[in-house]
Structure 1
């Protein structure tokens, strides 16, 4: 009888494991991944409900939902992405379509769906070998959160941030007037950690994007990350430290957060390609990247929901956008692409940069597909070292090398066709190359020196042979 009971208990345990949200878990998020970033409310409305939405109101709900993401997983996968990052799903106060004004950290926002919808999204993603990253806020709440009135000692005294060079003010001030958690209160930290673990336990998500990291003291970020990693060692944490200084961002690596969104590289791409300031900005960004201790876990992006769309300032948006995507897909770190980039969706400052997605593919869509495929097929673009190549005022290039394989990214920044000749930092025995994007491209390698004629505002991904 005891043996039958033991067997029965064992079988039940196995069944529960199979049916658990983590049963279909995929490989941990890492350097080989490519992330597609979605503002859920603006992506796809697949499950109309009774909750109010008005697409004409740029600062209100537009109707996008979790079911809408589920129905577009195959599309996202077809672009080459292996993971999605979605804006916060927690219940928000009126107007919080973006998810950053929480009023209940344990409930899914009804405009987006419910907890079962979120679980199904994770399950469906995992079935496709894709991973899911939830956006999580541990710095603040919405102004209407009950805690603001019921637990005033959970928050710092109300004070706006007026001096962004005063780190204490940045950490304790009310960002955009939002109530700022006081993590020095043990009850606050316990609540935030329990909340975060609850979402992982319930849904089986694969990672968190941590919002407003530089507004939380490192001591408490460390406690938070340690608690997550203690239960889920392979769980991926990527932080937002909105700052142009790589050294400042790297200072947060001690907290246990795996990687950070690479804002210095964002500024470099923007200045060189969107603002035509020459190659120096991009070159400085590449050099500053050497300060990162986990460079291949950083997030490389060209725009997001907090800055104007990359194409918004350009007269010829497609050419420059394709160059920017070529950088993102060949650079160190994990590429992160904001929804709509694949169709050159325009948009200015917030909220204009959060327009509704349009599912009409164009030339940029196909370019992105080809670039993600190139990244996946060439390990040096994922794991390789990086060496800048000086091309003067009208060019930008670097070489990625890993275990004997080497690829050069080259951009013609000018408005005219131009011949470039340059010496490879690592010449080895290379005697020829193939352009992985356009095999018809011709050029030569002689004694470690490459010569190639390039078209205006073009990019080249040269596989050395």
Structure 2
């Protein structure tokens, strides 16, 4: 009986899959265009704490010492490329990989700007990583330190380079820069060295972009010069920093801080999020190229903020990530968020990535969001309008060409609802996360209800009504299945009695 039933089930699945696929195709899809940087989803990792792929570079590795190298390397990143790809990310950002002084696992204590840290591998490994990423249609960004050196850098003993440094300490929120020596980036010789260093990494590795780590210690004029020189031969190269420069990406510090505060606890208003967008829209030429982080090496893990509030961090992450991945800008996910890691409130306490500890629910949400960004350009290129915002429930609309998406986030501690009126008639809102469908009512409105602490993304498409052909097909198939199971059961029963 079980064998016959298995055969019958397989036959039914074969019959149903084509029809299910046809029914699930989105209506009003926009023609696929070439990828722009604003379409990317970035996975940001700290090389030393990600994956130990080679034992050949494990000298002085001590996983029991939080200030020592833990063994992560470039080979480990290569080994996990498919994992990052499966999560749906299109770009990988690496923490600084340049040669560092002792215990500089984080990468900020540069001793040689044009050499790979020996604990991580060598320049051939980096080139191989980027080649492997490109085979998977993924890009690679390198964190580039340009504003300071290690306090042990050989230049400090070179009398010809005394004017290469500033007096005093480096000003930064980064805890590892307290003892770093700030470079004098107003010095033309320093500028040329740093520009040629950037060109060295491009030529040697084929990297796709840089994030300048410590731009605040330099001037906006130098960042603009740096950007123009580096991108002169490749207009598609990407450079991001926390200082504005024409044609570059920028780290959206204001939103990063606000999104952490809003979603760390339930019941908080989402007003500030849209206000920041309005400011960015007026301030920047291309606000869609702003980099948005939930976590970074400079702040405690968002997970710990939720834990301090006594809340479920998975729920908090799902709401925050939905906004992060559907609002204008480039979302950046710090490695370990998919676990999600808790640093106890100490950002310098960075444990080794544990791939076996990933939370399946959170992983599925990440995969859905990255997939939506890839499939629906309205989420990466569309305008951004607030439709409703009150008492923790916020609804946003994104439109690009003929495609419209609705993002609804209920951060309240109770169910909330609203009526949407400024949509076309005879449409349906198809939920891509919760799988529900909202249709226009007889009074012309679309009634949206959201349970507490939930989020959904809706595709606005013409109302298909009930697909009676599909329902009839499924009903017929199920009826055949029941008849077949009953027949097989009777046959087996007769055989047992004979």
- Regarding TM over 0.5, the answer is yes
Bigger mean CA deviation after superposition, 303-312 or 78-87:
303-312
Q: Give me the CA root mean square deviation.
A: 2.1
2:249 pairs with 1:259: yes
Deviation at 1:404, TM superposition (A): 2.0
Bigger mean CA deviation after superposition, 314-323 or 293-302:
293-302
Whether the aligned pair in 2 keeps the contact of 1:430 and 1:464 (CA below 8 Å) is: no
**Structure 1 residues 136, 445: closer, same or farther in 2, change over 3 A?**
farther
Cα distance in 1 for partners of 2:44, 2:224 equals 25
Deviation at 1:428, TM superposition (A): 3.4
2:276 pairs with 1:285: yes
Deviation at 1:84, TM superposition (A): 0.3
The match for 1:370 among 368, 379, 402 is 368
Cα distance in 2 for partners of 1:275, 1:59 equals 32
How many residue pairs were aligned? Answer: 414
**Structure 1 residues 50, 323: closer, same or farther in 2, change over 3 A?**
closer
Bigger mean CA deviation after superposition, 427-436 or 45-54:
427-436
Q: 2:6 maps to which residue?
A: none
Deviation at 1:175, TM superposition (A): 5.6
Deviation at 1:391, TM superposition (A): 2.8
Bigger mean CA deviation after superposition, 447-456 or 44-53:
447-456
Deviation at 1:202, TM superposition (A): 0.5
- The SS at the match of 2:211 is strand
**Structure 1 residues 280, 28: closer, same or farther in 2, change over 3 A?**
closer
- The SS at the match of 2:373 is helix
Whether the aligned pair in 2 keeps the contact of 1:443 and 1:452 (CA below 8 Å) is: no
Per-residue deviation, residues 170-190 of structure 1 (Å, max 9, x unmatched): xxxx96232111122221111
Cα distance in 2 for partners of 1:448, 1:220 equals 56
Deviation at 1:410, TM superposition (A): 0.8
Q: After the TM superposition, which residues 32-431 of structure 1 pair with which residues of structure 2 at under 5 Å, given as runs?
A: 32-48=39-55, 49-150=57-158, 151-159=161-169, 161=171, 176-239=178-241, 241=242, 252-254=244-246, 256=247, 258-276=248-266, 277-290=268-281, 291-314=283-306, 315-347=311-343, 348-352=345-349, 354-360=350-356, 361=358, 362-424=360-422, 427-429=423-425, 431=427
**Structure 1 residues 283, 114: closer, same or farther in 2, change over 3 A?**
same
Cα distance in 2 for partners of 1:462, 1:158 equals 53
Show structure 2 runs of 5+ residues with no match. 1-33, 462-498
Bigger mean CA deviation after superposition, 445-454 or 430-439:
445-454
Whether the aligned pair in 2 keeps the contact of 1:423 and 1:449 (CA below 8 Å) is: yes
Cα distance in 1 for partners of 2:83, 2:208 equals 20
Q: State the TM-score, normalized to the length of structure 1.
A: 0.84
Bigger mean CA deviation after superposition, 153-162 or 121-130:
153-162
- The SS at the match of 1:230 is coil
Cα distance in 2 for partners of 1:337, 1:142 equals 28
Show structure 1 runs of 5+ residues with no match. 1-26, 165-173, 242-248
Which has the higher relative contact order, 1 or 2, with Cα contacts under 8 A spaced 6 or more apart? 2
Deviation at 1:160, TM superposition (A): 6.2
Whether the aligned pair in 2 keeps the contact of 1:29 and 1:235 (CA below 8 Å) is: no
Bigger mean CA deviation after superposition, 446-455 or 84-93:
446-455
**Structure 1 residues 159, 99: closer, same or farther in 2, change over 3 A?**
closer
Cα distance in 2 for partners of 1:87, 1:126 equals 19
Q: State the TM-score, normalized to the length of structure 2.
A: 0.79
- The SS at the match of 1:324 is helix
Whether the aligned pair in 2 keeps the contact of 1:29 and 1:206 (CA below 8 Å) is: no
- The SS at the match of 2:38 is coil
Cα distance in 1 for partners of 2:121, 2:291 equals 28
Deviation at 1:70, TM superposition (A): 0.1
